[in-house]
Amino acid sequence: MRACAFATGQTWDQTYWELCEEGFERKEMPSWNSSWWAYLKHRGFSRHLIEDTCPDCYSVEDFCFDHPIGTFVLFIPHSTEGAGHAVCVCDGDIYDTWYSGEEVPLVYWRKELS
């Protein structure tokens, strides 16, 4: 939720309530991937798969180097069941509660310019 709040420029409280509404509409928990993914899509983000050329060596740091401009939310899987972590990258800087630069992202959302 913190990554979504930072990426959208909203407060954590506002983001939390809007994610709860999204989850309620979908009959899912607001922290489920499908809920927060839909939340980002409804706010002008587009989803992109990260190339699988080196699935274990392309890190969040690499992503920052390759994307020095823009606002992104990266999904870092932690299990094969879909659980994971979201991190915000804005203009090449990582915004997270811990240093996740060495983690390997699977998918990212990019804020489309209006």
Residues making up the chain, counted from first to last: 114
Domain that holds residue 15: 2-111
Average pLDDT for residues 25-49, to the nearest whole number?
89
* CA separation for the pair 100, 82 (Å, rounded): 18
Which range, of 10-14, 19-23, 31-35, averages the lowest pLDDT?
Answer: 31-35
pLDDT tens string 41-63 = 999 999 999 887 776 788 999 99
Predicted model pTM:
0.87
Sheet hosting strand 107-111, strand order edge to edge: 45-49, 107-111, 71-77, 84-90, 93-95
Contacts of residue 31, defined as CB under 8 A and 6 or more positions apart, other chains included, come to 1, 19, 23
What's the chain's Rg over C-alpha atoms? 13
Q: Residues of the chain with pLDDT > 70: what percent?
A: 94
Counted domains in the chain: 1
Total Cβ atoms within 10 A of residue 100: 21
